Amino acid sequence: MPVYCMIVLMEQLLICVTLAVLGLCMGSFAGATVWRLRARQLVEDKAAGEKVDSKELKKLLPLTKTTLTSDRSRCLHCEHTLAWYDLLPLASWLSTGGKCRYCHKKIGWFEPAMELGVAALFVSLYLLWPLGMSSIYEITQFVLWLIAGVLLAILFAYDLKWYLLPNYIVFPLIGIGTLFAVLAVIGTSDMTTTLLNILFSGIILSGIYFILWLISKGQWIGFGDVKLGLGLALLLADWKLAFIALFAANLIGCLIVIPGMVAKKIDRKTRVPFGPLLIAGTVLAMLVGRYIIDWYFISFI
């Protein structure tokens, strides 16, 4: 192998390892944020006079006494303050066999799954990034997607667990999406087409849900999905990708619901959260959508 190729390969490997480590750390942050947001929500719900699970509130209450970023994390079972070596993503979990070092209660799969998930997303985004990295616009768009990836991981987990998409995360996601879309408009030579593209993307991923929400008065679909859809549409900024995202979300939904119905684990009354499906569809569309579109146009048109 020529020396030049070796250098390029080493450089790529170095970037992937760096992104994987960064992803593990951001996944750890995302996992901790999910619990803190839940604690905050329970306190707010209780203050508003809603019925909350008092056992859950008691367990999560210590998390509300600290701010989102400045404190040291604690074990949810024994409340022991965790040392720096307990907070190493994945490594700490593996070194104790998934248990708390102090009370030996099982920590569960949630934290390592978040860490591995975000790390895998970061590396995949780099390896499959469809927009190029040649201009400052494109590199900024890549960084925006990394940030969005962390927010998406939080929303994915939160909606899956509690059927809710907290505004604390959805609004920043819409903000990141807006920046991404603005860069797409600035970086193009054909602004009108790009603007229309973003508009149709919004109609597909958010507008349809908005109409469903309006017709059913919030019965079929939550307004959280409408807002999430807007953020996702801006992050794709392309109607074809938005269409692929919607299609993939429904396909994944069917692949989960139909076997569940056959096994009688899911019936008509089971609530299926749309958020995680839409997020999975959007990530898939971003990673492989453009390759699918290229293949389709070469093969059929």
Contact set with Zn ion (CB under 5 A): 75, 77-78, 100, 102-103
Q: How near is the Cβ of 37 to Zn ion at its closest, in Å? A: 21
In the block, residue with structure tokens 């069917």: 254
Q: Crossing angle of helices 3-47/136-162, nearest 10°?
A: 40
Of the pair 107, 165, the CB lying nearest Zn ion is at 107
Distance in Å, CB of 24 to Zn ion, minimum: 21
The amino acid occupying position 101 is R
107 vs 235 by CB, closer to Zn ion = 107
Per the rule left: phi > 0, alpha: psi between -120 and 50, beta: everything else, 106 is beta
Cα–Cα distance for residue pair 237/196, rounded to 1 Å: 9
Closest CB to Zn ion among 16 and 75?
Answer: 75
Give the shortest CB-118-to-Zn ion separation in angstroms: 24
Which H or E run contains 10?
helix 3-47
Owner of token pair 């996992």? 31
Name which of 75 and 208 has its Cβ closer to Zn ion.
75
What residues have CB less than 8 Å from 223, skipping those under 6 apart? 213
Whether 191 and 185 have beta carbons less than 8 Å apart is answered as yes
CB closer to Zn ion out of 13 and 78: 78
Closest alpha carbon to 229 in 259, 204, 193: 204
Work out how close the CB of 158 gets to Zn ion at its nearest, in angstroms, rounded to a whole number: 23
Q: How far is the CB of 90 from Zn ion (least distance, A)?
A: 18
Residue (100 or 266) nearer to Zn ion, CB: 100
Return left, alpha or beta for 72; rule: phi > 0 is left, psi -120 to 50 is alpha, else beta: beta
Closest distance to Zn ion from the beta carbon of 190 (Å): 57
